[in-house]
Amino acid sequence: MALVVQKFGGTSVADADRIRRCAQRAVASHLDGHHVLVVVSAMGHTTDEMLELARRVATSPPQREIDVLLSTGEQMSAALMAMAIDDLGAESASLNARSLGIVTDPVHGNARIRSIDAHRIVRDLDAGRIVVAPGFQGVTDDGSITTLGRGGSDTTAVAIAAALGVAAKTGVCEIYTDVDGVYTADPRHVPAAGKLERVSYDEMVELAALGAGVLHPRAVMFGKNFGVPIHVRHSQRAEGGTMIVNETPDMERVSVVGCALTPDLGRIGIRGMPNRPGTQSIIFERIEAAGILVDDIIQIQSGECADVTFTVESPHLADLKLAVQEALERIGGGEMSVEVGLAKVSAVGVGMRTHTGVAATMFRHLGEAGINIANITTSEIKISCIVPQEHGPKALQVVHDAFGLGAAKKDAVREG
């Protein structure tokens, strides 16, 4: 029997009717002869409402208790989903964070999965039950509940699929959401964006990290590392979505498969810091300890001093400035400056490995549109440009058009 893991996000289980429609999908797969495991997020805006309640009862609630509180949202969804499945005539079993067998590190609020003991899951599946698992959570070695941070339910689904050996069997991890799949760009900014039929793990990691929003990079990396095929689909529609798979040779026929916009960035500059071994590690270790991701790091050195700049999403600027100031006090030199009002537009495609002229095409079209480029970073399959924030949506449209993406190119067969 094939194993199908189905993950339903918060909007997909936002009310009773939607839960029943998702339950119908699970039961249909079960009746087709598959083992089925369902992973659910908290209903609608439940998580945000719980966080607001926590802030009302405590000035600074402990993160450990925040995790305990937030985990109940997914647990409620799991119980309701199991009830709906039972009502449709199939046997189900909802699990909790402990019986699920996901063991994490003790970092509350952003825990990482260390191991999964799938014995309980396998027992229920072999007994013919549809297993319903709460996403976004696990337990530490001592039994404390943790949450996995942004995209936690996606990560839960793909990690369980990997633990159950989906890559070695005929199976799939289906991520159900409120969009039809992965698009060549965000349709809210680019109305002509087309749905991709398939995309490689590496391309999806880049697009997700750059703001595509459909799937979290951690989940995609689990899929890549363990070979789990991921199918992104609309939870309320029957048609297929986007398959995320291993790279195949024909994927390199396309120079760019999609583009993304990171809409709200700040740039930190540190001037005149001592140019000696270990200085950079002091700065970025403090930033890492604050749980902040940075990008676009550039260093220029001159004699005994060095200047470094990097970008960060604007909501993290306040915490970042504190971390950098502490680091500067420790290294004994350097002045910090902060620039806001920036955005980043990026083009992504594994075909960049074999196609020339991608960067020139991107830069030329941005220039012809009157959009100034403040900074450029590249990887093997990505080119990113920092632009003024007010030009972000326009820059995304320009780059999308520059590579002929869109509804007419949804199968991604254009030669670069």
Could you tell me the pLDDT band of residue 415, with boundaries at 50, 70 and 90?
very low
Region 89-102: mean pLDDT is 94
**Under 8 Å CB-to-CB from 228, ≥6 apart: which residues?**
158, 161, 162, 166, 167, 173, 222
What's the pLDDT score for residue 275? 86
DSSP state of 129: P
Could you tell me the pLDDT band of residue 413, with boundaries at 50, 70 and 90?
very low
Could you tell me the pLDDT band of residue 42, with boundaries at 50, 70 and 90?
very high
* Tokens standing for residue 263: 């809409």
Q: Are strands 102-104 and 113-116 parallel, antiparallel or unpaired?
A: antiparallel
Q: What are the DSSP E strand ranges found in 275-322?
A: 295-302, 305-313
What's the pLDDT score for residue 303? 80
Residues 91 and 246: their CA atoms lie apart, in Å, by 34
Q: Convert the pLDDT of each residue in 176-213 to its tens digit.
A: 988 899 999 998 889 999 999 999 999 999 998 887 77
Q: Is the pLDDT of residue 155 over 60?
A: yes
Percent residues over pLDDT 90 in the chain: 78
Which is higher by pLDDT, 410 or 241? 241
Q: Convert the pLDDT of each residue in 103-150 to its tens digit.
A: 999 999 989 999 999 999 999 999 999 999 999 999 999 999 999 988
Backbone CA torsion sign across 390, 391, 393, 394: positive
Q: Is the pLDDT of residue 11 over 70?
A: yes
Q: What is the mean pLDDT of the chain?
A: 91
Q: 3-class SS at 92?
A: strand
Q: Convert the pLDDT of each residue in 312-347 to its tens digit.
A: 999 999 999 999 999 999 998 889 999 999 999 999
Q: Convert the pLDDT of each residue in 112-122 to its tens digit.
A: 999 999 999 99
Q: Convert the pLDDT of each residue in 264-308 to its tens digit.
A: 999 999 999 998 889 999 999 999 888 788 988 999 988 889 999
> Which domains are assigned to the chain?
3-247 (3.40.1160.10), 258-402 (3.30.2130.10)
Do residues 342 and 262 touch, judged by C-beta distance below 8 A? no
What's the pLDDT score for residue 325? 93
Q: Is the pLDDT of residue 214 over 50?
A: yes
Rg from Cα positions in the chain: 23
Q: Are strands 335-348 and 382-388 parallel, antiparallel or unpaired?
A: antiparallel
Residues 19 and 38: their CA atoms lie apart, in Å, by 12
What's the pLDDT score for residue 412? 38
Give backbone dihedrals phi and psi of 413, rounded to 5 degrees, phi first: -120, 10
Could you tell me the pLDDT band of residue 408, with boundaries at 50, 70 and 90?
very low
Residues 7 and 37: their CA atoms lie apart, in Å, by 8
